[in-house]
Amino acid sequence: MTTADVVSFFGLLLLIGLIFDATRWLSITLLVLIGGGTAWYAYAKLRRSADTRAWQAQMEAERAAEFRRASATIEGSIAAIVAQHMPTLARKHRQLLQPDEYGVTNSSRWDKEVDRFVQAVLHPALTSGERQVFDHNTGSYRQRLRDQIEVGAAKFAAQQARQFRNCGSGDDLTPRDFEHWCAETLRDHGWAARPTPASGDQGADVVAEMHGHLVVIQCKLYSKPVGNKAVQEVHSARTFYGATAAAVVSNAGFTPSARTLARSTGVLLLDRTELPQLGMLVRRAS
């Protein structure tokens, strides 16, 4: 073996050793990098998860705080919205809860009107938090809303009646309001009185009964004297309802022709101020 061969052999061994060391260090480096990367990924994931939980907890706390604030304000908001629309609600309440000719009241139309008011008016007017509170316990709030409207409608009707009593012409009332005022006045004086439905009344605006007397009444809120037509209609209504008497109540008097027709048909003509004396006038005429 020559010297060159020996040198080549040991050079090869050195090269193999260097390659082995490099591979070992490369493997170690890769393992360190992989392990470090995995550890960093796991740490970052845990950090993101912790941040997400903290954000969710913060949002949950904010929603809970908003819900509490809305719970404290929703009653006042509903009351203000109802008060704003009370004239319309009171009128709808009167119109849709009128008993029929058998004395039976069907509340389904009023129920639908309350639902429409909630969807079209009340719900959009609430804040987002108040809407969540309302929807969370909608049955309870709807029932309280109905009670609030019915109480408010009764107060509104009584207020209108007082206003009419204190005014000379009733300019603040509608003809339908005047009918309800007449019915209320009769009830205050012992009559079982009810306004008839707005349509299909067969000529009677109010039907009243007391002591065996059934009276059909036309209620006319006019700016000029009432003419023959009202007398003719209430005279027909007396036959239709089988009433013992018929009357026309007016705030503006009657034409001479109407008075002549009333005498021939036995229809009573009353100024609104004479309505409390209806019982005496019916007994006198019978």
Length of the chain: 286
Q: How far is CA 111 from CA 42, 93, 142, 185, in A?
A: 59, 10, 10, 28
Percent of the chain past pLDDT 90, that is, above it, reads 28
Confidence (pTM) = 0.48
CA angle 131, 136, 140 (to 5 degrees): 100
In this prediction, residue 92 carries a pLDDT of 81
> Class of 175-285 per CATH?
alpha beta
Section 193-199 average pLDDT: 82
Least confident of 22-36, 104-118, 119-133, 169-183: 22-36
16: pLDDT confidence band, cut at 50, 70 and 90? low
Closest CA to 262 of 216, 239, 230: 230
**What percent of the chain lies above the pLDDT cut of 70?**
74
Band the pLDDT of 98: cuts 50, 70, 90: low
Q: What is the pLDDT of residues 135-159, one digit of tens each?
A: 988 888 888 888 888 888 888 777 7
Residue range(s) of every CATH 3.40.1350.10 domain in the chain: 175-285
